[in-house]
Amino acid sequence: MSLFVPPTRRATLVGAGAILLAGGLPDRAQAVAAGLFEDVRRHGARGDGTTIDSPAINRAIDAAARRGGGTVIVPAGRYLCFTLRLRDNIALVLSAGAVIVAADPAIHGAHYDPPENYQEEQYQDFGITHVHNSLIRGDGVSNVAILGPGMLHGLGLDREGPGDRWHGRPDWRSAAALGVSPRELALRDAAERLQVGRANKTIGLMRCRNVRLDGFTILQAGHFAVMAHGCTNLRVTNLLIDTDRDGIDIDACRDVRITGCTVNAPKDDAIVLKSSYALGRAVPCEDVLISGCKTSGYAMGSVLDGSYRLSDYKSPDKLGVLGRIKLGTESNGGFRGIRISDCICTNSRGILMGVVDGGTLEDVSVSDITIRDPVNHPLFVHHGARLRAPRGTTVGRIRGVRFDAIAISGARMRFPCGVEGIADAPVEDVTFRNIAIVAQGGGTRGDAERDPEYRRTTSLEVTYLGTLPGAGFYARHARRLTIRDISLRTERPDERPVVALRQVDGAILDGIVSQAPRNAVLDSRDGHAVALGMITTLP
């Protein structure tokens, strides 16, 4: 038996006698009788897979909360549930063999908590805006934990939902102009009405403080396995997530550590940082560490069962699975102080970052990464001007991004690493260093002469660029770019230069090792001040 200590800096205990039991202990009955923790079965939970157990589990949480907090134990069993509501100073422990299963309202005759947080303008999709429509939700709570080793199974959760609602839509009209509330206006949409009573997130957190998610499994998580908005001091450790939409979404949060997690997400992002308008204002996502994690895009369930089956998903761009680590999609508040290190990305889309809705991305480092068989660009920084944001929002900035000590194998011919800025806001101060690439090769002279399509107004995805004119690196609309200590090996001859630059001002290329002849390493056009250092040609 060990004391549960919440993830606060002062390490104060949560509630009198809060106890963490990773599994059953011989003295459980005595501990329950002494009021040291709440066993959900004592509050009526059956765990038989057919009884709706969420009322009983919520009673156990409420009983612990009335004492000032404590630990709620879910013993082995299969617990069919609608919304579970976290409260202050609560640790919810999923014992070995415990599975909380998301019920389906259409089958089980009840419903999840309705969506909250209706806004005059919704600059992000429905699923990102709300958290009450989750299997487990926390809204404004502090000192909470969900602990393993059990499982959350999002069987009855939705994978899809309505999109955004803002002035950029041709048919948009404000609630104020129509004389109704934002909620009333939203519910005029049949798609939004259908969402009331349903849920699309396994865990939804809004404005929470001191949160620990540790040691459990999430299978088939709906649209989002973990969605956190505006949270501080959040620790996500040792989770296994095997799903077919988003894994871990960290939105406008501060002081977050995601460590030791395995996330398989063939049909969406595995780990993604956002800075949306779900909080009703632009808030940066900052001071985030992602370390020691594994991401992939294998068929859902195949990482959990150990078979690692390939997924047949092609995605709208027909390239294949996703499963990437990403900063962006929603970028209203920007990103700063982000560290991604010691991760393995396999059969996925690698690492993509950028801003497209205003905001500033700065002070981001990616280091000690292994990327195997990337579906598209292994590493990419992208600036766009979609500006899905309040009227008057101007383009953002990207500056101070560092990639270091990265090994890439199985890279596809069309997709080198890259930087794509916009003409009126170039990407600044990006460094690629100690990057070893093994690629398929096969690029032609015609590929080397391509002028990729330029789009100022675009989302974060960069598939529209097509085959890029560099075999290893491509950059356009950038300033002070450094590419140093790079090796590129191709399985087939490639007629493109190792590095292709377009409208780049101030580039340093040094320590390049490749199979290309010395005079074919660089193609720089419409740029200035390119400093070319040591080049080594491989046999």
- Which pLDDT tens digit goes with each residue over 353-368? 999 999 999 999 999 9
- Which pLDDT tens digit goes with each residue over 385-402? 999 999 999 999 999 999
Model pLDDT, residue 486: 96
Phi, psi of 60 (to 5 degrees): -65, -40
The answer to whether 77 touches 98, Cβ cutoff 8 Å, is yes
Model pLDDT, residue 3: 32
Phi, psi of 33 (to 5 degrees): -60, -35
Considering only CA atoms, which of 430, 277, 267, 412 is closest in space to residue 363? 430
Diameter of the chain measured on Cα atoms: 79
User: In this structure, what token pair is assigned to residue 532?
Assistant: 């070319």
Model pLDDT, residue 105: 96
Residues of the chain with pLDDT under 50: 1-34
| Ranges of each domain in the chain | 1-238
Considering only CA atoms, which of 449, 454, 451, 447 is closest in space to residue 422? 454
Phi, psi of 243 (to 5 degrees): -145, 180
Considering only CA atoms, which of 461, 281, 416, 291 is closest in space to residue 358? 281
Alpha helices in 24-156 (DSSP H): 28-33, 54-66, 105-108, 126-129
The answer to whether 249 touches 204, Cβ cutoff 8 Å, is no
Q: How far apart are CA 491 and CA 344, in angstroms?
A: 22
Model pLDDT, residue 467: 97
Q: DSSP assignment of 398-445, as one string?
A: EEEEEEEEEEEEEE-TT--EEEE-BTTB-EEEEEEEEEEEEEEE---H
Q: Is the peptide bond before 426 cis (omega within 30 degrees of 0)?
A: no
The answer to whether 148 touches 22, Cβ cutoff 8 Å, is yes
CATH assignment, 1-238: 2.160.20
Model pLDDT, residue 10: 30
If one counts every other C-beta atom within 10 angstroms of the C-beta of residue 233, the result is 21
Where b means 16+ CB within 10 Å and e means fewer, 92-107 reads: bbbbebbbbbbbbbee
First to last CA, the chain: 62
User: In this structure, what token pair is assigned to residue 272?
Assistant: 């993604």
